[in-house]
């Protein structure tokens, strides 16, 4: 249920007709990029040089259409253009190229389907329901989505975890951990730690595949569970709850918070990462506000929440020491997107660095 990277996004204001027009016209470049993905253009270009004419024959499209598409890809430096010859940029040749090991196909597919899904927004606005509310979550969908989460997160997870010091915590539960990308980053950074990914069976199958390619993966275990319906077995020093809060309604989140609190060792930490809203009216950051639209499209009760409201739910579930955890700008998943709380009890083994008091 996640969009792309949200670093460096500006806060748009629309006060004139020109600004309104420009905001709507922003669909043009995304549409050019998606057309290139639909053609699998970066894979076709590979590591060769092509004239637009040759490439159009390869892709079985018109030369005129391809030249205009390629010119626009070159204008944003996704392709390199010299005279009439095009080559891949580094990004095009790697993450966007199906034949390269760094290909991020899972997430590219998700972005393509999201384009279609967002075209159906009015259905959800009218009904208040997710667009495909009558279609169950299948293992195939879950698998594809879990790979998308991995491809989205594999670079930011280590950068975020590097800033979260968990002291001598020995056990970490990655609750709704999906591909386990964060759990793996915690394990890589903390050699004495053991972690458990809790998710649905199909997501766990992907997590196992990914963990099998890393040495630290030997310290990863798995817990298939629907934690919205059942208590969480076991006791942990840290529970990491990343990008799950927004999937659920306030009531469901409060139930999950109580379950997390019951599964923490005394003094253990519950660390939440999400698209928090930070202003009084709940409008900003813009990306967090827009992300609520995704939750309308894809979930029955999800939303994005003010950090202050989430802190109250944590208090209600018996947590203490509720704090936001600032990260270095440019390394965050969401702007000021980390909130942590402790289970009452003796001095925690897990200490998160650089905290700032949030609520009481
Ligand atoms: C948006 S993904 C986030 C994955 C990962 N935590 C991250 O930050 O990249 C949400 C994950 O939570 C899992 N999830 C949501 N509700 C769940 C539930 N009730 N029981 C088990 N897993 C759940 C989903 O299957 C999915 O893998």
Name which residue sits closest to atom 20 of ligand 1, judged by CA.
226
The list of the chain residues with pLDDT below 70 reads: 1-10, 347-360
CATH value of 139-357 in 3.40.190.10, 3.40.50.1820, 3.40.50.150, 3.40.50.300: 3.40.50.150
CATH architecture designation of domain 1-113: Orthogonal Bundle (1.10)
24 CA to middle of ligand 1, Å?
A: 32
Q: Whose CA is nearest to atom 24 of ligand 1?
A: 176
Question: Which residue's CA is the nearest one to ligand 1's atom 14?
Answer: 176
Q: From 114, 149, 176, 226, give the residue whose CB has the most ligand 1 atoms within 8 Å, as the site to mutate.
A: 176
pLDDT tens digits for range 52-69: 999 999 999 999 999 999
Q: Is 226 in the pocket of ligand 1 (CB under 6 A)?
A: yes
What is the β-pairing status of strands 320-324 and 236-242? unpaired
Query: How many angstroms separate the alpha carbon of residue 40 from the centre of ligand 1?
Result: 29
CA 146 / ligand 1 centre spacing (Å): 9
Instruction: Write down the pLDDT at residue 357.
Output: 42
- Measured in angstroms, how far is the CA atom of residue 257 from the centroid of ligand 1? 15
Residue 200 Cα to ligand 1 middle (Å)? 8
- Ligand 1, pocket-test mutation among 184, 199, 272, most atoms within 8 A of CB: 199
Beta carbons within 10 angstroms of residue 301's beta carbon: 14
Tell me the two tokens of residue 263: 């599964």
Q: Which of 178, 180, 226 to mutate to test the pocket of ligand 1 (most atoms within 8 A of CB)?
A: 178
Q: Is the peptide bond before 285 cis (omega within 30 degrees of 0)?
A: yes
Please give the distance, rounded to the nearest whole angstrom, from the Cα atom of residue 344 to the centre of ligand 1: 26
Domain ranges of the chain: 1-113, 139-357
Judge if 1-113 and 139-357 fold alike in CATH terms: no
Q: Per-residue b/e over 63-92, b at no fewer than 16 CB within 10 Å?
A: eeebbebbebbbeeebbbeeeeebbbbeeb
Ligand 1 pocket, 228 CB below 6 A? yes
Q: In the prediction, which pLDDT does 9 show?
A: 55
Ligand 1 binding pocket includes 124 (Cβ within 6 Å): no
- pLDDT given at position 255: 98
User: Edge-to-edge strand order for the sheet containing 264-273?
Assistant: 220-224, 194-199, 171-175, 236-242, 264-273, 338-342, 320-324, 356-357
Distances (CA, A) of 78 to 88, 93, 103, 286: 7, 9, 15, 26
Q: Whose CA is nearest to atom 27 of ligand 1?
A: 178
What is the SS3 string spanning the chain?
CCCCCCCCCCCCCCCCHHHHHHHHHCCHHHHHHHHHHHHCHHHHHCCCCEEHHHHHHHHCCCHHHHHHHHHHHHHCCCEEEECCEEEECHHHHCCCCCCCCCCCHHHHHHHHHHHHHHCCHHHHHHHCCCCCCCCCCCHHHHHHHHHHHHHHHCCHHHHHHCCCCCCCCCEEEEECCCCCHHHHHHHHHCCCCEEEEEECHHHHHHHHHHHCCCHHHHHEEEEECCCCCCCCCCCEEEEEEECCHHHCCHHHHHHHHHHHHHCEEEEEEEEEECCCECCCCCCCCHHHHHHHHHHHHHCCCCCCCEHHHHHHHHHHCCCEEEEECCCCCCCCCCCCCEEEEECCCCCCCCCCCCCEECCC
Residue linked to tokens 């639209």: 293
Asked if 237 contacts 260 with a C-beta cutoff of 8 angstroms, the reply is no
Residues 6+ apart with CB under 8 A from 299: 1, 130, 246, 247, 248
Query: Looking at residue 328, what is its pLDDT?
Result: 96
- Which atom of ligand 1 has the smallest separation from the CA of 226? 20
Pocket of ligand 1 contains residue 177 by CB under 6 Å: yes
pLDDT recorded at residue 347: 54
């Amino acid at each position: 249920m996640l969009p792309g990277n949200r670093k460096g996004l500006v806060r748009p204001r629309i006060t004139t007709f020109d600004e309104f027009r420009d905001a709507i016209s922003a669909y043009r470049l995304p549409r050019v990029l998606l057309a290139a993905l639909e053609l699998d253009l970066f894979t076709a270009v590979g590591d060769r040089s092509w004239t637009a004419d040759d490439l159009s024959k390869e892709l079985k499209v018109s030369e005129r259409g391809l030249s205009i598409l390629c010119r626009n890809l070159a204008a944003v430096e996704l392709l390199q253009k010299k005279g009439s010859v095009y080559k891949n940029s580094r990004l095009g040749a790697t993450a966007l190229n199906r034949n390269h090991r760094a290909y991020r196909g899972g997430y590219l597919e998700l972005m393509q389907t999201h384009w279609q899904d967002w075209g159906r927004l009015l259905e959800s606005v009218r009904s208040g329901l997710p667009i495909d509310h009558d279609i169950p979550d299948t293992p195939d969908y879950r698998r594809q989505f879990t790979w998308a989460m991995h491809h989205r997160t594999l670079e930011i997870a280590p950068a975020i975890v590097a800033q979260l010091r968990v002291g001598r915590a020995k056990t970490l539960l990655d609750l709704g951990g999906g591909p386990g990308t964060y759990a793996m980053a915690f394990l890589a950074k903390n050699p004495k730690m053991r972690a458990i990914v809790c998710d649905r069976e199909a997501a766990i199958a992907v997590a196992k595949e990914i963990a099998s390619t890393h040495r630290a993966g030997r310290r990863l275990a798995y817990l298939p569970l629907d934690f919205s319906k059942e208590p969480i077995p076991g006791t942990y020093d840290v529970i990491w709850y990343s990008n799950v809060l927004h999937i659920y309604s306030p009531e469901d989140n409060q139930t999950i918070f109580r379950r997390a609190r019951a599964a923490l060792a005394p003094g253990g930490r519950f660390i939440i990462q999400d698209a928090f809203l930070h202003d009084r009216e709940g409008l900003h950051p813009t990306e967090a506000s827009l992300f609520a639209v995704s939750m309308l499209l894809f979930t029955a009760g999800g939303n994005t929440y003010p950090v202050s409201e989430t802190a109250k739910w944590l208090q209600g579930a018996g947590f203490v020491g509720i704090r936001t955890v600032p990260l270095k700008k440019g390394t965050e998943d969401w702007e000021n997107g980390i909130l942590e709380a402790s289970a009452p009890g003796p001095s925690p083994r897990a200490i998160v660095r650089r905290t700032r008091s949030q609520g009481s």
